[in-house]
């Protein structure tokens, strides 16, 4: 019996999911809350003439309250979108276009998510100027550089709270204070932040904040934009249509997805601290385990200013694509999911000043709500074995063809 128990303990279901920054599973509690709204409670939340519509509307408004409460906002300040990509587009293009006759400059940073960088690039084509702030080796912006970049012409500062590749947390309260002093609205992409670190729109003087359901154990295809009402921030909508969401986002709300986002945020709000402590223990176990087994393991970006569930590591002398092929039992990624088809080294690591060889040797490990100690231990032994094997074989030369 003792032997069997020992064997059972080490048993894990393969493959092991270690890519929680790319997406997360829907929490079963979120799923349970959503289900009735696909079938019996199918009404259109915008139908004002019957009970089916009222029922859906009540569910959507409850979700809006749950979202607002978790980030310290008022329900009237929450606009549902299809995700953080749309929320970022709406915030950045919406503010810039609304104020374009007065202000023509934007400030962001080089390590933002592609959807922020591309929104700013689109605005450059429309005649806006943009400053892309550098980051240090820690992944953080320099507050003096931010202060210096803001001019009379600046319509918006957009700096993410938590980076999706390296998990580092920007000093958003200090950024918000600078923006307040300069009288410039502050937008933050908080898709990776909510539920992982304390996040309060008032504390950080945030005017606009983007959220995503599927990064926080909610469904894919839903997100939200927080838009401050006092003092009021005005934006131009992206879509023409029926004028839902206070005219900011036309289209019928997906009731079940809204309910899922609300439930996911309510859970994130109430369980954040306990979850963070658990994830930090797992991450420490992982990093200590890897360093005990392997030399040449470096952490990309600040370890001490990072969400608990992220590690971005480079393994000296290794090509990460080759390593991931060897580690088929582990679901890992290099950098972001959106650019992982390309073999180009990550622009985020490049911005940190990581050299090309070490950037190609990098792997992002995302730990989350359903990760277990046994999975971490399995991952440590798998990494130890495969990295050592590839180093013995002098792997980098053999992968030139990709």
Ligand X SMILES: *Cc1c(COP(=O)(O)O)cnc(C)c1O
Q: What are phi and psi of 29, to 5 degrees?
A: -70, -35
Residues 71-110 that bind ligand X (CB under 6 A): 83-85
The count of residues interacting with ligand X (CB under 6 A) is: 14
Select 192 or 205, whichever has its Cβ closest to ligand X: 192
Instruction: Report d(CA 106, CA 130) in Å as an integer.
Output: 5
Which entry of 109, 115, 179, 338 is annotated as an active-site residue? 338
Angle at 193 between CA 188 and CA 194, to 5 degrees: 105
Q: Site residues for ligand X, window 117-176 (CB under 6 A)?
A: 160, 164
Tokens of 12: 């894990």
Query: Least distance to ligand X from the beta carbon of 103, Å?
Result: 24
Write out the binding residues for ligand X, residues 328-357 only, by CB under 6 A.
Answer: none
Structure tokens at 384: 């130890």
In the bound state with ligand X, the residue whose beta carbon lies nearer, of 164 and 255, is 164
Per-residue mark of binding to ligand X, 221-250 (x: CB under 6 A): --x---------------------------
Report d(CA 365, CA 357) in Å as an integer.
19
**Least distance CB 191 / ligand X (angstroms):** 4
Distance (Å, rounded) from C-alpha 68 to C-alpha 153? 31
- Which residues neighbour 6 within 8 Å (Cβ) at sequence distance 6 or greater? none
Considering the complex, state which of residue 21 and residue 371 has its C-beta at the smaller distance from ligand X: 21
**What element of type H or E holds 62?**
helix 51-71
Q: Which of 78, 90, 115, 208: binder of ligand X (CB under 6 A)?
A: 115
- In the complex with ligand X, the residue whose CB is nearer, 123 or 160, is 160
Site mask, ligand X, residues 175-214, x = CB under 6 A? --------------x-xx-------------------x-x
Separation of alpha carbons 91 and 79, rounded Å: 11
Q: For 19, how many CA atoms within 13 A lie in the half-sphere containing its CB?
A: 18
Q: Which residues contact 121 (CB under 8 A, 6 or more apart)?
A: 130
Decide whether 160 or 359 has the Cβ nearer to ligand X.
160
Residue 5: CA atoms inside 13 Å, Cβ hemisphere, count?
Answer: 2
Q: Distance between CA atoms of 184 and 155, rounded to whole angstroms?
A: 6
Can you tell me which of 64, 105, 113, 196 binds ligand X, judged by CB under 6 A?
113
Residue 338 appears among annotated catalytic residues: yes
Least distance from C-beta 349 to ligand X, angstroms?
16
Q: Least distance from C-beta 84 to ligand X, angstroms?
A: 3
* Residue closer to ligand X (CB basis): 83 or 368: 83
Q: How far is the CB of 11 from ligand X (least distance, A)?
A: 32
Give the residue closest to ligand X by C-beta.
Answer: 83
Could you tell me the smallest distance in angstroms from the CB atom of residue 223 to ligand X? Answer: 5
Distance CA 213, CA 264 (A): 7
And the tokens for 244?
């839902």
Provide the token pair at 41: 């409670």
Which residues belong to the active site?
Answer: 338
- Binding site residues, ligand X, CB under 6 A: 83-85, 113, 115, 160, 164, 189, 191-192, 212, 214-215, 223
């Amino acid at each position: 019996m003792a032997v069997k128990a020992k064997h059972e303990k080490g048993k894990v279901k393969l493959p092991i999911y270690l890519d929680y920054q790319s997406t997360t599973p829907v929490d079963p509690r979120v799923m349970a809350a959503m289900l009735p709204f696909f079938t019996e409670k199918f009404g259109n939340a915008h139908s004002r003439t019957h009970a089916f519509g009222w029922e859906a509307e009540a569910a959507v408004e409850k979700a809006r309250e749950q979202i607002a409460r978790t980030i310290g906002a008022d329900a009237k300040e929450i606009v549902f979108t299809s995700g953080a990509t749309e929320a970022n587009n709406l915030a950045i293009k919406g503010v810039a276009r609304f104020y374009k006759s007065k202000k023509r400059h934007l400030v962001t940073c080089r390590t933002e998510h592609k959807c922020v960088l591309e929104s700013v690039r689109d605005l450059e084509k429309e005649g806006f100027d943009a400053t892309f702030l550098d980051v240090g080796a820690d992944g953080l912006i320099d507050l003096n550089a931010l202060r210096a970049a803001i001019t009379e012409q600046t319509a918006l500062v957009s700096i993410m709270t938590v980076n999706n590749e390296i998990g580092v947390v920007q000093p958003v309260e200090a950024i918000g204070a600078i923006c307040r002093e300069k009288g410039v609205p502050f937008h933050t992409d908080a898709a990776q932040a909510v539920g992982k670190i304390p996040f309060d729109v008032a504390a950080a003087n945030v005017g606009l904040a983007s959220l995503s359901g599927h990064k926080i154990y909610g469904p894919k295809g839903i997100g939200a934009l927080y838009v401050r009402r006092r003092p009021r921030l005005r934006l131009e909508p992206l879509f023409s249509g029926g004028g839902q969401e206070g005219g900011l986002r036309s289209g019928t709300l997906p009731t079940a997805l809204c309910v899922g986002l609300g439930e996911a945020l309510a859970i994130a709000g109430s369980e954040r601290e306990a979850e963070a402590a658990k994830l930090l223990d797992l991450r420490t176990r992982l990093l200590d385990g890897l360093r005990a087994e392997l030399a040449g393991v470096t952490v990309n970006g600040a370890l001490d200013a990072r969400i608990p569930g992220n590690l971005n590591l480079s393994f000296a002398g290794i090509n990460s694509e080759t390593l991931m092929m060897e580690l088929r039992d582990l679901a890992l990624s290099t950098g972001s999911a959106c650019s992982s088809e390309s073999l180009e080294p990550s622009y985020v690591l490049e911005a940190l000043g990581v050299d090309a060889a070490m950037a190609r040797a990098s792997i992002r490990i995302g730990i989350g709500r359903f990760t277990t100690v046994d999975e971490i231990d399995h991952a440590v032994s798998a990494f130890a074995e495969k990295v050592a094997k590839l180093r013995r074989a002098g792997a980098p030369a053999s992968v030139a063809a990709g």
